[in-house]
Amino acid sequence: MTNQEAITSLKMLKLFTGYDAKSQITLTLHISIDMAIEALEKATPKKPTFSDNNYQCSSCGWEYLDDITLQKHCEHCGQCLKWEE
Ligand SMILES: [Zn+2]
């Protein structure tokens, strides 16, 4: 299973469990699902964007990514980086 497939499954699980603001169990489950989705998205490599002579993190916009060492993660948000296709 890929990260994207897991994200899709978690989003479906969230829909199936519905949302009841009065239910602490549902609220806790939804917060947990959101945290898992965010962690999976950060672990899925994203290509940096290039503008103003800097490589920027495509998740948070941090603009000091090092294209010489091809750093593996954004030091600001933890996003996994993909430098080549
Ligand atoms: Zn970032």
Query: 38-54 b/e with 16+ CB inside 10 Å = b?
Result: eebebebeeebeeeeee
CA of 14 relative to ligand 1 center, distance in Å: 26
pLDDT digits (tens, 9 = 90+) for 13-58: 998 888 666 788 888 999 999 999 999 999 999 999 998 899 999 9
CA of 6 relative to ligand 1 center, distance in Å: 22
Q: Which two tokens stand for residue 8?
A: 């899709």
User: What's the pLDDT score for residue 59?
Assistant: 94
CA of 63 relative to ligand 1 center, distance in Å: 8
Check residue 60 and report its DSSP letter: T
Per domain, the residue ranges of the chain are: 3-43, 45-85
d(CA 46, CA 61): 12
CA of 81 relative to ligand 1 center, distance in Å: 9
CA of 24 relative to ligand 1 center, distance in Å: 32
